[in-house]
Chains A and B, each alone.
Chain A
Amino acid sequence: MKTLKKIVCLALALALSLSLFACGGGKTTLNVLNWGDYIDPELLRQFEDETGIKVKYTTMTSNEEMLVKLASPDNIYDVCFPSDYIIEKLVADDLLYAIDKSNIPNLSNIDPRFLDLSFDPGNTYSVPYMWGTVGILYNTTMVSDPVDSWNILWNEKYAGEILMYDSMRDTIGITLKKLGYDINTRNEADVLAAQEALIEQKPLVRAYLTDDIKMELINGSAAMGVVYSGDAVYCIEENPDLAYAVPMEGSNVWFDNIIIPKTSQHTAEAEAFINFLCDADVAAQNSEYIGYSTPNAAALAIMGPDYTDDPTYNPPQDVLDRCQIFEDLGDFVKVFSDAWTKVKAA
């Protein structure tokens, strides 16, 4: 008994010291913070093989969570993938590193439509990664009515089969659109109206979810749900009964971008990583893997009509014309947050 204990202790001590040694390698490590399921892991290995830089990859589930991590004084991340309105806030808070574009020659692959957008004029701090819309993904065998308005999410016929996105900005945003208001409204009455509409809708809602919406819709556990277009592409591939629509009242168009925090000690390696992701073949492989739309024109040329002709993946201009980009709300976010609390606690 005693010898066994000793052996176990020794083995544990050995394992501990080995794991300590393992950290002492000579390679540079790049700390990457990204959304879950938001890169082809194969590409991370390819980058490591090509450059000898080690990638330590971490995931998070919301823009806000990322903001907390990046704003913390001991932030360790070198590369991160926030959305438009968060970039606006990060720039305002002076948390971003101005990217040296001469290190990113592949920037020329990006469609100019996605450069120089309002949240980062001149792309001083960010490089486009993926983009898309917010809409309704529905099961054509369970929904008989035409899906062209957000109002269908309030239709009692589908009580218990409706999934909403568990995210304050997205859910209040589409409700504002349904009511005909600005998605970035600074008018308290508009937000209160959205709050009332969402409370009224709550008994019909099966659940407020994030990534789980995909599984529920693929399995047919729910008839419809609010999703990002990229997730819709993935789900339709898995279950051809599903279809995606951006309602006529308009919606949110979003852009996820690659940034380097100001605190990064490995900016050159981070720029090499960004350049790698903007390579046409890499971006094409990545976009095909995760299903989200790439802003990379050279990649899209490789991917071909399977993708370019798919209105979910590549929405036509008239859809984009009725969509709005989120802006940073500043202190007004409290009004949204109070409304969201009341909806969730109702």
Chain B
Amino acid sequence: MKRTDAKKPKSAGGMHVRRSVFAYPYVVWMAVFIVAPMLLILYYAFTGDGGLTAGNILQAANWDNMRVLLDSVRFALYTTVLCLLLGYPVAYLLSQMKKATAALLSVFFIVPMWMNFLLRTYAWKVLLGAFSNMLYTESAVLLGMVYNFLPFMILPIYTTLIKLDRSYIEAAADLGANPTKTFLKVVLPLSMPGIISGITMVFIPSTTTFAISQLLGGGKTMLYGDLIYMKFITEQSWNAGSALSVILLVFVLISMTFMKKAERTTGDEGGGRLW
């Protein structure tokens, strides 16, 4: 397209505002909706009976609750592995296509994301109920989770793959590697940053998910998110709920540290990091 607007945009200097001013709304947003709730959770987790206490955490870390956490981690792992197995080939195929074709095809998995995930999960509930006997089983929960989180695996891998320098592949071919070997020794290692950020973006939210398990699992599978919901709403115990949240937070931070480390060792080239 021909640019008609050839003039350079005027700098903001004339208005005497520094650029960082534009970040203030976001900083305020973060303070009010992320930092403040986090502090409240910490407050409720470590207070009770009129003073500071570690009792809430110790009580929350009992075997029954930890079993629910392990169950959630198991589900999150299954989800992540399935998303990777399904998502990588899709991302790879998309990256091999013409830009326009890929853009058109990616619409198919991006457009559903414009709908609220609860609506989509309800739709699955109706479909599974009408056409299979899978509803209210663990497989149904897994299906719902893979369906909801798959785009978060495809996108980062796809962005890494399209930035991959073609000359590496040509060089590998020139040096006598067959396509399989080229893929395993060149493409796959170079797409690691995308894979890792995909894993992070699927694994962490699926550990903390709830509602999907309630809707598709028929209340028979309890995930850690459901447990926290129950403590806050049914039991009205904000201390116990917050303590469980803190345990989850620590778990998430630990797994993120691991993934960051993995990311660093694979190198930053190729980009593809979404956060």
Q: Taking beta carbons and an 8 Å cutoff, which residues of A are in contact with B?
A: 62, 64-65, 67-68, 166, 168, 202, 205-209, 221, 333-334, 337-338, 340-342, 344-345
Interface size class of B (residues with CB under 8 A): 20 to 34
Check: B218 CB closer than 8 A to any chain A CB: yes
Instruction: Contacts A68-B236, A168-B234 given; indicate if A344 touches B222 (C-beta within 8 A).
Output: yes
Majority SS at the chain A contact face: helix
Question: Contact between B218 and A64 (Cβ–Cβ < 8 Å)?
Answer: no
Which of B14-22, B40-48, B64-72, B92-100 lies at the interface?
Answer: B64-72
Residues from chain B with Cβ under 8 Å of A67 in the complex? 236
**Cα–Cα distance between A235 and B218 once the two chains are bound (Å):** 20
Q: How far is the CB of A105 from chain B (nearest CB, A)?
A: 37
Question: Contact between A341 and B233 (Cβ–Cβ < 8 Å)?
Answer: no
Residues from chain A with Cβ under 8 Å of B218 in the complex? 206-209
Question: Contact between A344 and B219 (Cβ–Cβ < 8 Å)?
Answer: yes
Residue from A68, A340, A344 having most chain B Cβ neighbours under 10 A:
A344
- Name the residue on B nearest A215 (C-beta): B129
Residues from chain B with Cβ under 8 Å of A340 in the complex? 230, 234
Question: Contact between B136 and A206 (Cβ–Cβ < 8 Å)?
Answer: yes
**Cα–Cα distance between A180 and B65 once the two chains are bound (Å):** 30
**Cα–Cα distance between A64 and B220 once the two chains are bound (Å):** 20
Q: C-beta contact mask, B44-72 vs A, less than 8 Å → 1, else 0?
A: 00000000000000000000110110010
Question: Contact between A334 and B222 (Cβ–Cβ < 8 Å)?
Answer: no
Check: B237 CB closer than 8 A to any chain A CB: yes
**Cα–Cα distance between A162 and B20 once the two chains are bound (Å):** 60
Residues from chain A with Cβ under 8 Å of B174 in the complex? none
Question: Contact between B64 and A341 (Cβ–Cβ < 8 Å)?
Answer: yes
Check: B187 CB closer than 8 A to any chain A CB: no
Question: Contact between A64 and B236 (Cβ–Cβ < 8 Å)?
Answer: yes
Question: Contact between A341 and B219 (Cβ–Cβ < 8 Å)?
Answer: no
Question: Contact between B234 and A345 (Cβ–Cβ < 8 Å)?
Answer: no
Q: How far is the CB of B242 from chain A (nearest CB, A)?
A: 14
Question: Contact between B219 and A65 (Cβ–Cβ < 8 Å)?
Answer: no
Q: B237: which of A166, A207, A334 is its contact (CB, 8 Å)?
A: A334
Majority SS at the chain B contact face: helix
- A-B pairs, top 7 by smallest CB distance, nearest first, are A207-B218, A208-B219, A337-B235, A207-B136, A344-B222, A166-B219, A345-B222
Q: How far is the CB of A245 from chain B (nearest CB, A)?
A: 23
**Cα–Cα distance between A177 and B136 once the two chains are bound (Å):** 27
Q: C-beta contact mask, B221-263 vs A, less than 8 Å → 1, else 0?
A: 0100011001111111100000000000000000000000000
- Name the residue on A nearest B233 (C-beta): A64
Q: Taking beta carbons and an 8 Å cutoff, which residues of B are in contact with A?
A: 64-65, 67-68, 71, 129, 135-136, 214, 217-220, 222, 226-227, 230-237
Q: A345: which of B71, B214, B235 is its contact (CB, 8 Å)?
A: B71
- Name the residue on B nearest A210 (C-beta): B219
Q: How far is the CB of B35 from chain A (nearest CB, A)?
A: 20
Q: How far is the CB of B158 from chain A (nearest CB, A)?
A: 26
Question: Contact between B236 and A221 (Cβ–Cβ < 8 Å)?
Answer: no
**Cα–Cα distance between A338 and B230 once the two chains are bound (Å):** 10
Residue from B65, B71, B136, B234 having most chain A Cβ neighbours under 10 A:
B234
Q: How far is the CB of A91 from chain B (nearest CB, A)?
A: 16
Q: How far is the CB of B128 from chain A (nearest CB, A)?
A: 11
Instruction: Contacts A202-B220, A205-B220, A206-B218 given; indicate if A62 touches B64 (C-beta within 8 A).
Output: no
Residue from B218, B232, B233 having most chain A Cβ neighbours under 10 A:
B218
Question: Contact between B234 and A64 (Cβ–Cβ < 8 Å)?
Answer: yes
**Cα–Cα distance between A84 and B83 once the two chains are bound (Å):** 47
**Cα–Cα distance between A345 and B218 once the two chains are bound (Å):** 13
- Name the residue on B nearest A203 (C-beta): B220
Residues from chain A with Cβ under 8 Å of B64 in the complex? 338, 341-342, 345
7 residue pairs A–B, Cβ–Cβ below 8 Å? A166-B214, A333-B236, A337-B235, A341-B64, A341-B222, A341-B227, A345-B64
**Cα–Cα distance between A205 and B220 once the two chains are bound (Å):** 8
Residue from B135, B219, B226 having most chain A Cβ neighbours under 10 A:
B219
Residue from A207, A209, A221, A342 having most chain B Cβ neighbours under 10 A:
A207
Given contacts A344-B219, A344-B222, 20 further A-B contacts (CB under 8 A): A64-B233, A67-B236, A68-B236, A166-B219, A206-B218, A207-B219, A208-B219, A209-B219, A333-B236, A334-B237, A337-B231, A337-B234, A337-B235, A337-B237, A340-B230, A341-B64, A341-B65, A341-B222, A344-B226, A345-B67
**Cα–Cα distance between A62 and B233 once the two chains are bound (Å):** 9
**Cα–Cα distance between A90 and B141 once the two chains are bound (Å):** 37
**Cα–Cα distance between A165 and B3 once the two chains are bound (Å):** 64
Residues from chain B with Cβ under 8 Å of A68 in the complex? 232-233, 236
Residues from chain A with Cβ under 8 Å of B231 in the complex? 337
